[in-house]
Amino acid sequence: MTNELMQRVEAHLNVIYPDQNCQDLSQQLVSTMGIAIDAKAPVPFTNLWDQNDIYLITYGDSLIDESLSPGQRPLQSLHHFIRNYLQQVISAVHILPFYPYSSDDGFAVIDYYQVNESLGDWQDIQAISEDVKVMADVVINHCSARSGWFENFKQGKDPGNDFFFTASPDEDTSLVVRPRTHDLLKQVITPDGSKYVWCTFSHDQVDFDFRNPIVLNEFVSILNYYLEQGITIFRFDAVAFLWKEAGTSCLNLPQTHEIVRLLRLLVEHKNPQAVIITETNIPNRQNLMYFGNANEAHAIYNFSLPPLLINTLVTGDCTHLKTWLMSLPPAQNGTAYFNFIASHDGVGLRPVEGLLSEEETDLLINTMVSFGGRVSWRALKGGRNQPYEINISLYDALSGTVNGPDSLQKQRFICAHAIMLGIEGIPAIYIHSFFGTQNDLERVNLSNQNRCINRHKWNYPELQGHLGNAFSHHAQVFEELTALIKLRKQQKAFHPNATQFTLHLGVQLFGFWRQSLDRRQSIFCISNVTCEPQPLSLADLNLIDMGDWRDLITGQTFTNVRECITLAPYQTVWISN
């Protein structure tokens, strides 16, 4: 253990806990993480990814099958699916919270050290990690109100008695940024009388108090435990809300950023290949801050991409998507954007604040509602509510345009993924996007939860039947999407940190240029984002007239760099040298 590491840990702690004995605390954290005495600092600005990295996002029980063997567990079904369908497609799997929980489909964690027995056990997680990298959620802002820690809090016992953030109901919390509409504080009776616990997300999700260093040490212990189980990628859930301070928004506070930097420092000294990804569903500029100076998150969720891309494809106008892409700073080496266009949550609307006008946002919302979507709300100052996210499956979100449904749903859906797979960053694909899963309105009605619309649970044998039927749209989507991914993985110009420039081809054609880090390959990525054929003049791309250029997707070769071609509705071309 180097003195340099101890000094760096202590420096972070001095910012977070200026009134604490940070020398002793730094020794405790390093010991809890189990960092070897001879551990070396990782080389800074090192990319731990390349163009072969594709993530799968899934719940542990998105596939349910008891036919493979008696007592088949969902995590084993997931492993079977990865081995038999995605072995050459993905490099990592994000298994959404697989711990015992009480609500929010896993994000109200009861016990961070256990696997939900209805899903499987740690051996199942370890088995998956032998085939692909595993990303696990670190639900760091809050835990379940039914957890052992909170039960101890209510009884005035340790551990847990001082784990949770409390505030007076008379305190002015009007500046606090809220993602929900319920009351912020929850009254709890304890041996010391009534206390009011802070609940950012729901009254079943009670917020931790990181002003207590014991809470920080507990999460260091959790991270170390996950590393020992074979997990190497960590998603810090809702981390932007972590630190609370009276008279502030309680969002993105300096101590929050300092804690992320500290946890990264400890994790990467334990395992230099480990990756931290921050999940911060907030306006774009605030989100970018979590890169730090390549010393905070390795990757950040690119939250503005889903709503902007959907908006582009339903309006047939790429103006806002193009403007956003031009404003996106290149991620420096050692950091990357984490790109996704569908997930277990809804399509966030906060990330397009300042990017779409109120009228444009309303049109997007109304279009999604007409395709079967739902809207979730958040509370604003003064008791007003504002749309927070749209809840809809991506396949149904692309059912048509602002003019209504049409017959180009699948083409529009594949176009969305072709764009995501091409832009700078690491692509992550929700399991239901592989199949073109549609809105699950039955689950919404049964659960009374809008987000369940996009959390379908497939009967695995039934799904396999669909995937074996060439006439099924599920099979067609799976075949086209996996073929596109395999093609992408072969292109060095699609390295997550490869050079990117936005092209100006009007509003009907969305385009950008990628160049490999060794400058040996260029790819011009152009998509027709409309429901009508669109002309593309190759002269507008300024292709160098040396050798043939070829569309990687169709194989079409272009010998005349000044010819004009026509792109079918929602067709994408990857023109490469």
What digits encode the pLDDT tens for the residues 397-423?
Answer: 999 999 999 999 999 999 999 999 999
Q: Count the helices and strands in the chain (H runs, E runs).
A: 17, 27
CA atoms lying within 13 Å on the CB side of residue 197: 29
Q: Find out whether 104 is annotated in a ligand binding site.
A: yes
Q: What pLDDT shows up at residue 248? A: 96
| Cα dist from 455 to 186, 441, 459, 472, whole Å | 28, 10, 13, 20
Sign, Cα dihedral of 21, 24, 30, 33? negative
Set 237, 317, 396, 440: catalytic member: 237
At 72, which helix (H) or strand (E)? Answer: none
Place of tokens 């927070």: 388
Helices (H), 343-472: 358-370, 394-397, 409-422, 431-435, 441-447, 460-467
215-to-11, 29, 168, 485, 559 alpha-carbon distances in Å: 19, 11, 21, 41, 64
φ, ψ at 348 (rounded to 5°)? -65, 140
Task: Report pLDDT for 546.
Answer: 67
Query: CA torsion, points 32, 36, 40, 41, in degrees to nearest 10?
Result: 0
Task: Give the pLDDT score at 69.
Answer: 63
Output the six-digit token pair for 188. 């709890």
Strand residues in 106-148 grouped as ranges (E): 133-139, 142-144
Looking at domain 142-207, what is its CATH homologous superfamily?
Oligo-1,6-glucosidase; Domain 2 (3.90.400.10)
- The angle that helices 254-270 and 22-33 make with each other, rounded to 10 degrees, is 40
| pLDDT tens by residue, 272-318 | 999 999 999 888 889 999 999 999 999 999 999 999 999 999 999 99
Q: What are phi and psi of 160, to 5 degrees?
A: 130, -20
d(CA 183, CA 181): 7
- Is residue 142 marked as binding? yes
For the chain, the structural domain boundaries read 1-41+214-288, 142-207, 499-576
Residue 242 gets the label, from left (phi > 0), alpha (psi -120 to 50) or beta, of: alpha
Closest CA to 256 of 274, 281, 238, 277: 238
Query: Does the annotation place 345 within a ligand binding site?
Result: yes
Per-residue tokens: 172: 């002015």
Distance CA 277, CA 274 (A): 10
Q: What is the pLDDT of residues 444-496, one digit of tens each?
A: 999 999 999 999 999 999 999 999 999 999 999 999 999 999 999 999 999 99
Helix, strand, coil % over all residues of the chain, rounded to 5: 35, 20, 45
473 annotated to a ligand binding site: no
The residue behind tokens 């910012």 is 15
Q: Which of 419, 443, 429 is nearest to 509 (CA)?
A: 419
Q: The tokens of 102 are what?
A: 């009480």
- The pTM assigned to this predicted structure is 0.96
Q: For the domain 499-576, what is the CATH code?
A: 2.60.40.1180
Task: Pull the structure tokens for residue 225.
Answer: 């435990």
Q: Write out residues in the chain with pLDDT < 70, as ranges.
A: 1, 68-70, 546
Same topology for domains 142-207 and 499-576, yes or no? Answer: no
CA-to-CA distance for 462 and 64, rounded, in angstroms?
Answer: 10
65 a catalytic residue: no
Query: Greatest CA span in the chain, whole angstroms?
Result: 82
CB 369 within 8 A of CB 81: no
Identity at 480, one-letter amino acid code:
E
Quote the tokens at residue 70.
Answer: 């008696």
Residues 6+ apart with CB under 8 A from 366: none
Q: State the Cα–Cα distance between residues 513 and 524, nearest whole angstrom.
A: 5
CA distance linking residue 347 with residue 314, whole number of Å: 14
